[in-house]
Structure 1
Amino acid sequence: MSSVKHVTAPDCGAILELIPDYAFGLTSPDETRFVEANLTACPEALAELEDFRRIQDDMRESVPQVEPSAQFEARLFAAIRLETNSAPAPQTIKPQPVVTPVEAPVPALTLVKEPQAQPAERSQRRPLPFAWLAAGVAVAALLLTNGYWMAQVNGLNERMVRLENDAVIASQESFVLDNSRPLNWSRMTPDEGTGIEAAAFLMWNA
């Protein structure tokens, strides 16, 4: 147990906790010195110690002291003598002759070359780690997703082109010129650069 440092103002709480052990002689040397050096400065701890000492005195007075009988002493000494006589006598160990061992001839060693293990066939592939398999599945799923969305975008573009063509055709108004002058007309082909498949007819009278 670590030594207890003395301070100017004693810790009466710590001393009070040590009083029961100190009263029955169960404290360590350091704890005993600590209690005895600071006990007078803690009246509560001093009163607690007096109570424990009174209890010890009352216990001694309440228990009658019995002297051992002569028969008990005779039996006790007889048991001690019997235990002493029954103890085995010490045996004298005789020195044993020193035997020098004879070295046995060492048999000649024959080196036998063990057949070397053949390497495994290269055709046997090592199992792919789980991480690589998961990465391959993720890449395949990404490619399939990209292909699906590209197909959807292309389909939407085609539908937009068809809708624009239908709108152009529907917007062409047909009309009849009521005039004695001859009717002239001309067919206008679409510009190849636009990529729109539509035709227009220009009609006039002059």
Structure 2
Amino acid sequence: MKIVSVESHILRIPLGDKTFFSSQARFPERNSYLVRIQTDTGLVGWGEGGQYGPPEPVAAVIDHVFAPKLIGRDPTQPVVIWEEIYASSRDFGQKGTYIEAISAVDIALWDISGKAVGLPIVKMLGGPFGNNRILDAVRKDLKGYRETGFDTLKVKIGLLDPSADAERLKVIRETVGPNVTLMVDANHAYSAATAIRMGRLMEKYDI
């Protein structure tokens, strides 16, 4: 199997009156960068990068620096390719745009690798942690928060897939009851499509 094409896709949605701000910047739009890697067998891998800042620099790195190095390579060697493209850009790209570009390529290569062998990536990377153990720990922590009188909780999500995140939030809601306000923070782990899916799961579970 060989890589035959590397294509950049920039997604951009203006926010209009929903523009938001940080202490240092204005964010008038949501954007993301997707890379599509095509193989000679028909398998395709998708990777994502450049969500927070402008996606054009990430696209430029992949289109002009990494794509020529990827054409003709075996996509089922994501670790080897990661090391090689990182080494080739290490003198000037140890962080920021170059790392985002490497990440997008890496995701796409793992996507292809999983499809090639018919396995979810989580299993190829060693398997998931036991969710029951995680949920038991969550229940224990929540009882302590409830007993001390907290009426609002902020929960980190995005460490698991949306279905598992929704299951975790369902357990949290059942444990703390209907009168505690829940907030969630995915810490940039979700794409726009994943966030929409997560919202639908939360509605389904009445979270």
Q: Name the TM tier (shorter chain).
A: under 0.3
In proportion to residue count, which structure has more strand?
2
Q: Larger relative CO (CA 8 A, sep 6+): 1 or 2?
A: 2
TM-score by length of 1: 0.18
Q: Which has the larger radius of gyration?
A: 1
